[in-house]
C-alpha cells in the first residue's frame, strides 16, 4: 500500500446479537480516518451484515490492525472473536487497496510453527500475544547464526498447539524490552481457525 491510497477492510457481523467488531491500529499515525460503514444485504431480522472501514495511508511505515468482537457494555476484555493483519505503507500513489483477513485452519490437537528472524544483539526481540483461547505455546527454539558474521540474525521458531475450537489471533511485536511494547518497530499477525477433527 502507498501513502495517499485508501484501504478498505470488511468483515461480517450481526449487530442484533449486541456483538460488534472494534478496530485498533498501532502505531496510530500510519493509517488514519477510520470511516465506518455498514451494508445489510438482507432485510431479514437478525441477518448478518457487512461492516467495513475505509482508511487513508497517512505516512510510510508498518501498522498492526487488530479487530475484536465484543459487546459495548461488557468491554474489550470480554471479546469473543479476533482477527489481525499487518499493513506496509511505502511510496506514494492513488487508488484503493482491499485488505484481506487470511485464516489458517488447524484441527484441535495439531501443532504448527511460526518462525521469525530477530537480532538480539541490537536489543530487539519478538514478543507475542495470543488473542483468544484456541492455541497455546508448547515449545520455543532459537537457532543462532553460525557464519561468524557480527550482527547476524537468529531464527526463532515457536511451536503452538490447537487446544480449543474457535478463532484465535497470534500477534507478534518486535521491540526492545526496556523500551516497552509501545516502541514496537515491526509486527506480524496470524489468524488461526481451530476446528474439530
Q: How far is CA 130 from CA 43, 81, 92, 173, 189, in A?
A: 36, 12, 34, 12, 10
Element (H, E) at 32: strand 31-39
d(CA 53, CA 194): 26
pLDDT of residue 42: 66
CA proximity to 137, closest of 161, 170, 107, 106: 161
- Compare 35 and 169 and report the one with higher pLDDT: 169
pLDDT of residue 186: 95
pLDDT of residue 103: 93
Please say if the pLDDT value at position 101 is more than 70. yes
Please say if the pLDDT value at position 91 is more than 90. no
Domains for the chain: give ranges and CATH numbers. Answer: 6-98 (2.60.40.2020), 104-195 (2.60.40.2020)
Span 42-64, pLDDT tens digits: 677 777 888 999 999 989 999 99
Look up the pTM and report it.
0.87
Span 66-79, pLDDT tens digits: 999 999 999 999 99
CA proximity to 65, closest of 26, 96, 108, 113: 26
Q: What is the mean pLDDT of residues 142-157?
A: 86
Q: What is the mean pLDDT of residues 114-143?
A: 94
Q: For the chain, what percent of residues have pLDDT higher than 90? A: 66
Please say if the pLDDT value at position 112 is more than 90. yes
Q: What is the mean pLDDT of residues 30-41?
A: 82
Amino acid at each position: 500500500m502507498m501513502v495517499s491510497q485508501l484501504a478498505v477492510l470488511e468483515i461480517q457481523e450481526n449487530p442484533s446479537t449486541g456483538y460488534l467488531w472494534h478496530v485498533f491500529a498501532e502505531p496510530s499515525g500510519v493509517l488514519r480516518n477510520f470511516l465506518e460503514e455498514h451494508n445489510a444485504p438482507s432485510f431479514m431480522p437478525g441477518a448478518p451484515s457487512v461492516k467495513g472501514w475505509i482508511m487513508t495511508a497517512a505516512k510510510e511505515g508498518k501498522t498492526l490492525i487488530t479487530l475484536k468482537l465484543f459487546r459495548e457494555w461488557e468491554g474489550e476484555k470480554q471479546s469473543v472473536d479476533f482477527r489481525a493483519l499487518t499493513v506496509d505503507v511505502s511510496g506514494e500513489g492513488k487508488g484503493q487497496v482491499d485488505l484481506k483477513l487470511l485464516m489458517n485452519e488447524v484441527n484441535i490437537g495439531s501443532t504448527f510453527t511460526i518462525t521469525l528472524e530477530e537480532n538480539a544483539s541490537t536489543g530487539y526481540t519478538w514478543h507475542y500475544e495470543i488473542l483468544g483461547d484456541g492455541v497455546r505455546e508448547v515449545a520455543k527454539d532459537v537457532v543462532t547464526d553460525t557464519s561468524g558474521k557480527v550482527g547476524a540474525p537468529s531464527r526463532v521458531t515457536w511451536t503452538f498447539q490447537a487446544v480449543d475450537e474457535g478463532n484465535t489471533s497470534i500477534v507478534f511485536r518486535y521491540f526492545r524490552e526496556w523500551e516497552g511494547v509501545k516502541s514496537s518497530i515491526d509486527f506480524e499477525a496470524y489468524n488461526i481457525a481451530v476446528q474439530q477433527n
